[in-house]
C-alpha cells in the first residue's frame, strides 16, 4: 500500500534540535528552538500556572465534552487580552472568539474557513514569515503570496515596497497576514504609523486582515504589543485574529490559543462564527481543555493574574536584557560587523545577519546551533554561554 511513498524531509528546525541533542561538546548552545528558556536553559512552568494547576486538581469535577468552541467563559478572556477592556468592537458585540489547540490550531481553522467561504481569496504573507504559515494555508488550498518585508541592509521593514506591492497586486477579498508583534523570524516589527497606513489600505482595497498574535507580552508589554492590532481592529469592518497562549503562559504542550472573528455587525460575526464551528468540528471536534482552564483560572483570579503579569514582565526583561548584553559583548569582542540592531528587534527571535556559511561554521566548529537563515532564538543565550557565543561569532565573522 505504501510502497510508492518517499520520505519527505522533516522541519529543518526540528532536525537542528536533534543535532544539538546529539552533540557531546559541553559548550554546545541551542539558539534554534523557539521556546523561552531561563538562565539555566530550562523552559520553566510559570508559578502562576503551577498554582492554577493545583487549584484545578482540587476543583475540577468532570472531564466531559465542552463543545466545539471550548469553554464559553474563555472567549471574553481572549477578547480582553487582545483588544483591551475598553474596545468598542467588544462593546458593540462585533467579535466572537473560540478556544483552539494553540495558535497553529487557530490558523488552521482560519485557513479552512477562508478556503471554503471566501472564494478565490489569496493569502499575503511577509517575506520572510513563520514557515508553518505557508504549510497551513497550502494544506487548505489557499494560494500564498509573499510581500516585501525584511530589509537586510537596514534591518528594518521595506515598508514602501510592501505598500507598493499590496497596492498594486492585491484584489478585493484577499487576506493580509500580519504579525501583531515580535515578528517571527526576524524580530523586526511594524511601527504604529505602518499599522495606520495598512488600515487605510485594508479599507481602500477591501482586504481581510488576519493578525497572528503569538507573542503578546514578549515585546514591550502586554498592552503595548497590541497597539497596532487594536488600532486596526477598531477601524476595519472585518478581521480574523489567531492568538497563541503557548509562549506568554508557557503552556506550549497543552495546546492553547484562540481564533477571533470581527465582523461589520454582531449578526455577521455570529454567522461567520457558526461556520467556524463547522470547520472546528471537521478538524478536531473540540479543543483540549487543560491549557484553557489554566489561563481562565489565572485571568479570573486577581492574585494569580498579577503574578502572571509579573512573570511575563520577567521573561520579557530577560530577553530584552540579553539583546543589550549581546550587542555590548559583540562590540567588545572586536567583531567587524555592527550588531547594534539586535537591541531594536523584539521578541524571541533575531535575524542576526549571519550568513549561511557563518552559521554552518558556528555549528561545525563551535557547536553553536543557529537556523540556516541566521535566525537566533535569543532566549537560548545565558550568563553561562554569552562570552563563548560572542567570542565564537567574532572569530567566524572576523
Ligand atoms: N504563529 C507564530 C508566528 C509562531 O511563531 C507560532 C509558534 N512558533 C505560532 C503561530 C503557533 O503557536 P502554537 O505553538 O501555539 O501553535
Q: Model confidence over 66-110: pLDDT tens digits?
A: 999 999 999 999 999 999 999 999 999 999 999 999 999 999 999
CA distance 306 to 290: 21
Which protein residue has the closest C-alpha to ligand 1 atom 2? 214
Mean pLDDT in residue range 202-229:
98
Measured from the Cα of 245, ligand 1's closest atom is: 15
The verdict on the CB of residue 34 being under 6 Å from ligand 1 is: yes
Q: How many degrees, rounded to 5, is the angle at CA 104 between CA 99 and CA 105?
A: 40
Residue 241 Cα, ligand 1 centroid: separation in angstroms?
Answer: 13
Residue 11, pLDDT > 90, answer: no
Residue 334 Cα, ligand 1 centroid: separation in angstroms?
Answer: 36
Residue 212 Cα, ligand 1 centroid: separation in angstroms?
Answer: 8
At residue 150, φ and ψ (nearest 5 deg) are: -85, 135
Measured from the Cα of 105, ligand 1's closest atom is: 16
List all residues 6 or more positions away from 16 whose beta carbon is below 8 Å from its beta carbon.
30, 32, 33, 369, 371
List all residues 6 or more positions away from 245 whose beta carbon is below 8 Å from its beta carbon.
102, 251, 256, 257, 258, 291, 295
The verdict on the CB of residue 48 being under 6 Å from ligand 1 is: no
ipTM, two decimals: 0.99
**Which residue from 359, 364, 389, 396 is spatially nearest to 375, judged by alpha carbons?**
359
For the chain, the distance separating the N- and C-terminal CA atoms, rounded to the nearest angstrom, is 54
- How many H-runs (helices) and E-runs (strands) does the chain carry? 14, 13
Cβ atoms of residues 141 and 241 within 8 Å: no
Which protein residue has the closest C-alpha to ligand 1 atom 5? 184
Using CA atoms, how far residue 353 sits from 20, 201, 397, in Å, is 21, 31, 10
Residue 169, pLDDT > 90, answer: yes
pLDDT for the residue numbered 8: 86
Residue 164, pLDDT > 90, answer: yes
The pTM score is: 0.96
List all residues 6 or more positions away from 56 whose beta carbon is below 8 Å from its beta carbon.
293, 294, 297
Cell 535566525 locates to: 375
From 13, 101, 103, 249, the mutation candidate for ligand 1 (largest count of ligand atoms within 8 A of CB) is 103
Q: Where do runs of H (alpha helix) occur along the chain?
A: 12-22, 47-59, 75-83, 88-91, 102-117, 131-139, 159-169, 192-205, 227-233, 266-283, 290-299, 302-332, 356-366, 386-397
Residue 380, pLDDT > 90, answer: yes
Cβ atoms of residues 295 and 77 within 8 Å: yes
CA distance 349 to 390: 17
Catalytic residue among 37, 112, 130, 165: 130
pLDDT for the residue numbered 119: 84
Residue 34, pLDDT > 90, answer: no
Q: What is the CA radius of gyration of the chain?
A: 21
Taking domain 12-44+307-397, whether its CATH number is 3.90.1150.10 is answered by yes
CATH 3.40.640.10 range(s) for the chain read: 65-300
pLDDT for the residue numbered 33: 84
From 130, 240, 291, 351, the mutation candidate for ligand 1 (largest count of ligand atoms within 8 A of CB) is 130
pLDDT for the residue numbered 12: 84
Strand 239-244 and strand 257-262: the pairing is antiparallel
- Percent of the chain at pLDDT above 70? 100
- Percent of the chain at pLDDT above 90? 95
- What confidence category does residue 219 fall into, taking pLDDT thresholds of 50, 70 and 90? very high
**Which residue from 239, 217, 13, 240 is spatially nearest to 107, judged by alpha carbons?**
240
Q: Which CATH class is domain 65-300?
A: alpha beta
Residue 4 Cα, ligand 1 centroid: separation in angstroms?
Answer: 33
CATH 3.90.1150.10 range(s) for the chain read: 12-44+307-397
Cβ atoms of residues 212 and 107 within 8 Å: yes
Residue 6's beta-bridge partner residues? none
Residue 359, pLDDT > 90, answer: yes
pLDDT for the residue numbered 334: 87
The verdict on the CB of residue 126 being under 6 Å from ligand 1 is: no
- What confidence category does residue 14 fall into, taking pLDDT thresholds of 50, 70 and 90? confident
pLDDT for the residue numbered 295: 97
Q: Does 247 qualify as catalytic in the annotation? A: yes
The verdict on the CB of residue 130 being under 6 Å from ligand 1 is: yes
Mean pLDDT in residue range 311-317:
98
Which protein residue has the closest C-alpha to ligand 1 atom 12? 103
Measured from the Cα of 212, ligand 1's closest atom is: 1
pLDDT for the residue numbered 9: 79
Residue 180 Cα, ligand 1 centroid: separation in angstroms?
Answer: 12
Q: Strand, coil or helix: what is 372?
A: coil
The verdict on the CB of residue 100 being under 6 Å from ligand 1 is: no
Catalytic residue among 112, 174, 189, 212: 212
Cβ atoms of residues 39 and 319 within 8 Å: no
Cβ atoms of residues 125 and 147 within 8 Å: yes
Amino acid at each position: 500500500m505504501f510502497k510508492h511513498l518517499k520520505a519527505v524531509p522533516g522541519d529543518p528546525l526540528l532536525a537542528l534540535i536533534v543535532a544539538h541533542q546529539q552533540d557531546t561538546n559541553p559548550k554546545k548552545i541551542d539558539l534554534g528552538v523557539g521556546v523561552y528558556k531561563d538562565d539555566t536553559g530550562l523552559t520553566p512552568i510559570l508559578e502562576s500556572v503551577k498554582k492554577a494547576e493545583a487549584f484545578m486538581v482540587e476543583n475540577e469535577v468532570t472531564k466531559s465534552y465542552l463543545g466545539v468552541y471550548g469553554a464559553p467563559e474563555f472567549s471574553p478572556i481572549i477578547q480582553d487580552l487582545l483588544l483591551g477592556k475598553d474596545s468598542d468592537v467588544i462593546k458593540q458585540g462585533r467579535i466572537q472568539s473560540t478556544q483552539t489547540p494553540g495558535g497553529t490550531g487557530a490558523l488552521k481553522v482560519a485557513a479552512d474557513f477562508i478556503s471554503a467561504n471566501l472564494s478565490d481569496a489569496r493569502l499575503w504573507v511577509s517575506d520572510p514569515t513563520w514557515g508553518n504559515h505557508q504549510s497551513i494555508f497550502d494544506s487548505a488550498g489557499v494560494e500564498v503570496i509573499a510581500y516585501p518585508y525584511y530589509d537586510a541592509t537596514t534591518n528594518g521593514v521595506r515598508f514602501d515596497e510592501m505598500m507598493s506591492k499590496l497596492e498594486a497586486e492585491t484584489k478585493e477579498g484577499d487576506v493580509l497576514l500580519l504579525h501583531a508583534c515580535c515578528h517571527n523570524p526576524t524580530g523586526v516589527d511594524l511601527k504604529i504609523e505602518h499599522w495606520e497606513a495598512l488600515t487605510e489600505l485594508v479599507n481602500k482595497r477591501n482586504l481581510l486582515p488576519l493578525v497572528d498574535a503569538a507573542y503578546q507580552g514578549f515585546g514591550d508589554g502586554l498592552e503595548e504589543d497590541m497597539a497596532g492590532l487594536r488600532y486596526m481592529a477598531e477601524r476595519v469592518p472585518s478581521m480574523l485574529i489567531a492568538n497563541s497562549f503557548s509562549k506568554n503562559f508557557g503552556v506550549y504542550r497543552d495546546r492553547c490559543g484562540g481564533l477571533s472573528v470581527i465582523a461589520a455587525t454582531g449578526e455577521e460575526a455570529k454567522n461567520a462564527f457558526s461556520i467556524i464551528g463547522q470547520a472546528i468540528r471537521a478538524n478536531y471536534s473540540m479543543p483540549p481543555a487543560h491549557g484553557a482552564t489554566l489561563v481562565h483560572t489565572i485571568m479570573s483570579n486577581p492574585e494569580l493574574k498579577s503574578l502572571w503579569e509579573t512573570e511575563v514582565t520577567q521573561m520579557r526583561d530577560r530577553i530584552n536584557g540579553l539583546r543589550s548584553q549581546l550587542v555590548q559583548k559583540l562590540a567588545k569582542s572586536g567583531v567587524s560587523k555592527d550588531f547594534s540592531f539586535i537591541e531594536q528587534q523584539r521578541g524571541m527571535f533575531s535575524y542576526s545577519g549571519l550568513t549561511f556559511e557563518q552559521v554552518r561554521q558556528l555549528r561545525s566548529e563551535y557547536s553553536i546551533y543557529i537556523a540556516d537563515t541566521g535566525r537566533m532564538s535569543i532566549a537560548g543565550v545565558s550568563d553561562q554561554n554569552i562570552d563563548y557565543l560572542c567570542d565564537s561569532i567574532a572569530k567566524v565573522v572576523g
